[in-house]
Amino acid sequence: MRLNGKVAIVTGAASGMGKAIAERFAAEGAKVVVSDLREEAAQAVVTGIEAKGGQAIAVVANVAKEDDVQRLVDETVKNYGTVDILINNAGIMDNFVPAADLTDELWDRVMAVNATGPMRTTRKVLPIFLEKGKGAIVNIASVGGLYGSRAGAAYTASKHAVIGFTKNVGFQYATQGIRCNAIAPGGVNTNIGTTMNQPNPFGMEKAMSGAGFNPRAGEPWEIAAAALFLASDEASFVNGAVVTADAGWTAY
């Protein structure tokens, strides 16, 4: 019960890594706010958690909308009194679109969800963390935030932004009891592919050119295990770090 009594917000928690994180945190004693765009799917995760004796609520929110982010945190405090842990997991892909074919619309949409969303949720919880003198943030980045061509231009830029933001927040608030870390997963078996349609052939060819070196795909529970460590007091000395979880793919 490493998170006993803690209150955790998990965005994009209706499926994939977010769902696995929400379920693992609840099993470790946290009160979990399952946040997602899809109400039925989020509520299904809550029902599953409750069936196993855990505590959770569902809050529908689009992290690309400021009003939704405000309501997400306000509902959390209303129901559970505080926030201790923030997991910024919500994200979308970009159809492997290279820079020459990138539109403003695609760029803005990807950046709004993948980079601006975590900024807004972090900005909203920081006053709560500062008042308590403690708090943990875990951002789900990507190996695409460490290397240049694991996806298209917009996704790659957005995940690099997440990693830079993680390091900035981690260092600047370190002396006030707040930690901010990131996980950079490699290929994980989730449904994020459903956020893509008609991948760009050139961009996809370039992005997949190193796929043959990938030892294997990961499972959502493996990312949840890393998130649990980073969110728990066991990681009290880990701050501003990026944990790569990719079976050794980028070690080549």
Residue of 80, 155, 173, 252 marked active site = 155
Residue 193: C-alpha distances to residues 5, 75, 138, 242 (Å): 35, 30, 22, 23
Lowest model confidence (mean pLDDT) among 20-29, 62-71, 137-146, 186-195: 186-195
- Quickly tell me which residue has 């159809």 as its tokens: 95
Mean confidence (pLDDT) of the chain? 96
Take residue 141 and report the two structure tokens written for it.
């980045």
Take residue 194 and report the two structure tokens written for it.
């459903």
User: Is-catalytic flag, 252?
Assistant: no
CATH number of the domain at 7-251, out of 3.40.50.720, 3.90.550.10, 1.10.3720.10, 3.30.499.10? 3.40.50.720
Closest CA to 240 of 185, 186, 176, 173: 173
Band (167; pLDDT cuts 50, 70, 90) = very high
pLDDT at 193 over 80: no
Interatomic CA distance for residues 238 and 202, integer angstroms:
39
Using the CB atoms, write b or e for 129-143: b if 16+ within 10 Å.
Answer: beeeeebbbbbbbbb
Interatomic CA distance for residues 169 and 156, integer angstroms:
20
Question: What local confidence, expressed as pLDDT, does residue 236 receive?
Answer: 98
